[in-house]
Amino acid sequence: MQRCIEPNIKIEDTGFGYTLSIIGGKYKMIILYWLGEFEVLRHNALHRLIGKISFKMLSSALKELEAAGLIVRKVYPQMPPKVEYSLSAKGKSLIPMLFDLCEWGDKNRPHPQKNLQRSA
pLDDT tens digits for range 77-99: 888 889 999 999 999 999 998 88
Q: Which residues span the domain enclosing 28?
A: 11-95
pLDDT tens digits for range 105-120: 888 988 776 555 554 4
Instruction: Indicate whether 55 belongs to any domain.
Output: yes
Instruction: Indicate whether 101 belongs to any domain.
Output: no
Instruction: Indicate whether 45 belongs to any domain.
Output: yes
Instruction: Indicate whether 108 belongs to any domain.
Output: no
DSSP letters for 28-95: HHHHHHHHHHHSEEEHHHHHHHH-S--HHHHHHHHHHHHHTTSEEEEEESSSS-EEEEEE-HHHHTTH
* Partners of 42 in the β-ladder: 84
Please state the rounded mean pLDDT for residues 56-74: 96
> Residue 72 maps to which CATH number?
1.10.10.10
Number of domains in the chain: 1
